[in-house]
């Protein structure tokens, strides 16, 4: 979708202070040197006991709102995304984030589609804002604290390692430091069983008391008798390529025009194949080497990456950035931003 008069007015990040290294996890028997060599993660951030996903999202949200220059009453929408447990069951974390950031009478919704949740929220918010002339701004947040025994950050998945933290972004129809040129999303529900295979339905959350077995589900999916592995890989690869091709087409840009390519902190083996090899992305345009010290921060990696390049790489007017997301289900969302100015936050 090509957008007109849609801007990014503010971004925010919250990362816990405590750091746990891959070497520490290996020494404790919670990770292996073999996985670390393939996946590349150096360390993750660990949330304190009182730092839940919504609490960290609210911290990042307050920073993004303050940087945006928008008054609380200008916000007509709050979207919150996440992957893991948010601290309470039968509760509304999006409304908590709203209460702790902009308050007011805006509607607050959750957007959940695995790791793609926050990028999906960007496209949903863009559609909402541009169809509602009475609303000026939307706050989008993503926050997660991955805790045992629900999720084993070093062992639930053989490739991805999860890190705690949050990101936030303010979309505006009034003004911002960057304009949203285009977004594009595509899904392929035929791949949905990859996140479910080998499991029975349960009556309650976390019924068996064991950490979520993402790797086991993938293995069950791949070992199914009717599984067409090459077909599944072809579908994923085709949609990764199509989503980038289409968003660049609608943004009237070429890959060579992109200064920053901000993708999720996936395992190095996946990034090397599915981003740098498959798409032809120059790794130096990404924040990935920096992100290997954070792990995959739930749904927030591309936005945290955007905040990082603003702080460290001096983006200039006219520079283009791609924010690239993918989530189990499968759904891909990609956005192209054009910097209009170099933000100088006064935090």
Residue 270 vs residues 39, 122, 130, 206: alpha-carbon distances, Å: 8, 24, 35, 29
More confident residue, 331 or 232: 331
Q: Is the pLDDT of residue 205 over 90?
A: no
Q: Which CATH class is domain 1-339?
A: alpha beta
Specify the residue for token string 């919670």.
Answer: 30
Q: Is the pLDDT of residue 193 over 80?
A: no
Q: Is the pLDDT of residue 125 over 80?
A: yes
pLDDT band at 203 (very low <50, low <70, confident <90, very high): confident
What is the pLDDT, as a whole number, of residue 223? Answer: 55
Q: Is the pLDDT of residue 340 over 90?
A: yes
Q: Among 107-116, 123-132, 204-213, name the one with the lowest average pLDDT.
A: 204-213
C-alpha–C-alpha distance, residues 166 and 86, integer Å: 12
Count other Cβ atoms within 10 Å, centred on residue 337: 25
C-alpha–C-alpha distance, residues 335 and 122, integer Å: 8
C-alpha–C-alpha distance, residues 1 and 188, integer Å: 19
Residue 312 vs residues 168, 309, 342: alpha-carbon distances, Å: 18, 5, 11
More confident residue, 28 or 346: 28
More confident residue, 129 or 220: 129
- Mean per-residue pLDDT for 250-262? 97
Q: What angle do CA 130, 3, 328 make, to 5 degrees?
A: 90
Q: Is the pLDDT of residue 346 over 80?
A: no
pLDDT in tens, 5-40: 999 999 999 999 999 999 999 999 999 999 999 999
Q: Please give the DSSP secondary-structure letter assigned to residue 5.
A: S
Q: Output the DSSP codes for 228-284.
A: -HHHHHHHHHHHHHHHHHHHHHHHT--GGGEEEEE-----HHHHIIIIIIHH---GG
pLDDT in tens, 149-164: 888 999 888 889 999 9
pLDDT band at 217 (very low <50, low <70, confident <90, very high): low
Q: What is the pTM of this model?
A: 0.92
pLDDT in tens, 43-85: 999 999 999 999 999 999 999 999 999 999 999 999 999 999 9
Dihedral sign, Cα of residue 164, residue 84, residue 233, residue 258? negative
What is the pLDDT, as a whole number, of residue 226? Answer: 58
What is the pLDDT, as a whole number, of residue 157? Answer: 83
Q: Output the DSSP codes for 107-146.
A: EEEEE-BTBTHHHHHHHHHHHHHHT-TT--EEEEEEEE--
Q: Is the pLDDT of residue 225 over 50?
A: no
């Amino acid at each position: 979708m090509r957008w007109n008069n849609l801007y990014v007015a503010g971004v925010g990040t919250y990362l816990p202070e405590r750091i746990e290294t891959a070497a520490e996890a290996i020494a404790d028997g919670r990770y292996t040197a073999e996985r670390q060599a393939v996946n590349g993660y150096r360390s993750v951030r660990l949330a304190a006991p009182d730092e839940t996903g919504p609490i960290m999202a609210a911290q990042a949200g307050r920073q993004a709102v303050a940087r945006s220059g928008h008054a609380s009453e200008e916000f007509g929408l709050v979207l919150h995304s996440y992957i893991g447990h948010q601290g309470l069951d039968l509760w509304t974390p999006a409304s908590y984030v709203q209460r702790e950031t902009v308050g007011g009478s805006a509607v607050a919704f959750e957007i959940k589609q695995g790791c793609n949740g926050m990028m999906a929220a960007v496209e949903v918010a863009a559609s909402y804002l541009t169809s509602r002339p009475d609303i000026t701004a939307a706050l989008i947040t993503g926050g997660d604290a991955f805790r045992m025994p629900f999720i084993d950050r070093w062992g639930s998945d053989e490739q991805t390692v999860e890190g705690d933290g949050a990101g936030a972004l303010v979309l505006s129809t009034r003004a911002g430091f960057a304009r949203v040129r285009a977004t594009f999303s595509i899904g392929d529900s035929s791949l949905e069983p990859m996140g479910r295979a080998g499991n029975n339905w349960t009556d309650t959350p976390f019924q068996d008391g064991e950490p979520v077995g993402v790797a086991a589900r993938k293995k069950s999916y791949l070992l199914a008798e009717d599984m067409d592995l090459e077909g599944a890989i072809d579908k994923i690869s085709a949609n990764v390529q199509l989503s980038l091709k289409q968003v660049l087409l609608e943004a009237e840009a070429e890959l060579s025009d992109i200064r920053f390519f901000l993708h999720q902190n996936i395992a190095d083996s996946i990034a090397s194949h599915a981003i740098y090899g498959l798409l032809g992305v120059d790794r130096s345009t990404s924040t990935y080497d920096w992100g290997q010290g954070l792990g995959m921060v739930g749904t927030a990696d591309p936005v945290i990456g955007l905040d990082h390049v603003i702080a460290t790489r001096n983006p200039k007017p006219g520079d283009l950035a791609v924010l690239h997301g993918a989530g189990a289900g499968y759904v891909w969302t990609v956005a192209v931003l054009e910097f209009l100015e170099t933000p100088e936050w006064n935090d």
